[in-house]
Structure 1
Amino acid sequence: MPSTPTRLPEDIYAAASAIAPGHGRTPAQQIAHWARIGREFERVPLRHVESVLTGTRSYDDLTDREQAIARAEIDKRMEETRASLDLEAEFLAQGITSWVSTDEHGNVEMQGPDHEG
C-alpha cells in the first residue's frame, strides 16, 4: 500500500522512535499503529472505556475492541507517569545513595553515587 508523506510534530516522531524498537516496529509503523488505535478509539462508546479507567466499571464488561483501547490508554498513562518520575532525585533527597534498577534487557544493575564507575 503506498504511503503519503506527512509532517508530524517532533515529539510524536521522537516518542515513536523511542518506543518502536521494543515492539519490533519502525517509527513509521509505530505511528501507523497509534493511528489505527485512535481510529478504533473513536468508533467505540468512549464512556465505557472511560468508566473502566475511572474504576466505575469492570474491564471484563468491555468488548474486545473496548478492552484493546483501554489497554492502550493504560499503557499511555503508565508511560506518562514513568516519564514524569525522577526517582534518583527522590532517593538522593532522602539520603539514599545506592539502589537497584533494571536495564532495557531486564538485567539488574546497581545505581547511585556509591556505584558510579
Structure 2
Amino acid sequence: MATMPTRISQDLFESARTVGEARSRSAAQQLDYWARIGRELEASPGITVGEIERILSGQAAYDDLTSGEQAVARVAWQQQIRERAAALDLTEELAAAGRPWPEADADGNVVIRRADAAA
C-alpha cells in the first residue's frame, strides 16, 4: 500500500494516538481506520455513525442494521481482522511454552515445528 504525507491538526493527531493506543494501533493506523469508515459513511448517507459504533462495540445486533449499515460494519471488522492478523506471531510464545506448532512449508505441506528447532 502506497502512503502519502499529509498535514492534519495536532489535536486530531493526538486524538488518533490516544484512541489508537487503546485499540493497539499506531496514530497513522487509527487515522486510516477513521478515514475508511468515514468514506463508507459518506457514500451511504442513510447510515448513522452512532448505530455503527453500537454494533462495533457489541451494544447492538448486527442483524438489526440495514444492508448499507451492515456493509460499513463489515469494512470496519475487516480492517480490525487485518490489523490483528498482521500483529500475530505465536512462534515465540509457543517456543517459550515448549509447545510444538504446525506450519506450512514453502510447498504448502504441514510441518510440525518444535521449540528447540525454532532458534
Q: Is the TM-score greater than 0.5?
A: yes
* Cα distance in 2 between the residues matched to 1:52 and 1:109: 38
Q: Does 1:80 align with 2:83?
A: yes
Could you say if the C-alpha distance between residues 68 and 81 of structure 1 is closer, same or farther in structure 2, counting changes exceeding 3 Å?
Answer: same
Cα deviations by residue, 1:33-77 (Å, 9 ceiling, x for unpaired): xx8875322332111111011110000111101101101111110
Runs of 4+ in 1 over 6 A off after TM superposition: none
Q: Which runs of 5+ in 1 are unaligned?
A: 1-7, 11-34
Alignment RMSD (CA, Å): 3.2
User: So what's the TM-score if we normalise by structure 1?
Assistant: 0.56
Give the aligned partner of residue 9 of structure 1.
3
Matches within 5 A, 1:1-117: 8-9=2-3, 38-42=38-42, 43=45, 44-96=47-99, 98-101=100-103, 109-113=110-114
What is the aligned-residue identity percentage? Answer: 38
Higher relative contact order (CA 8 A, sep 6+): 2
What's the TM-score once normalised by structure 2's chain length? 0.55
